[in-house]
Amino acid sequence: MNKKLAAAIQRDNELEDAGMHSDDRRTCWTHQSWAEDCEDLHIKRGVGSNSRPA
């Protein structure tokens, strides 16, 4: 995982904790990747949202 992605995931985690909806994440907690890079996985396999487990 590159630093830019790691930082973006961390920021999304903090934003989500602050009340941002998980649909607004730019990164995917499930796959630890950019949301746009695993979008297909979610659609085809029904993995669900990008949000962290509660």
Is the separation of the CB atoms in 51 and 16 below 8 Å? Answer: yes
Q: Which is nearer to Zn ion, 14 or 39 (CB)?
A: 39
Which residues, 13 to 32, sit near Zn ion by CB under 5 A? 28, 30-31
Q: Which is nearer to Zn ion, 13 or 30 (CB)?
A: 30
Burial class (CB in 10 A: 0-12, 13-18, 19+), 48: exposed
Q: Which is nearer to Zn ion, 17 or 40 (CB)?
A: 40
Binding site residues, Zn ion, CB under 5 A: 28, 30-31, 38
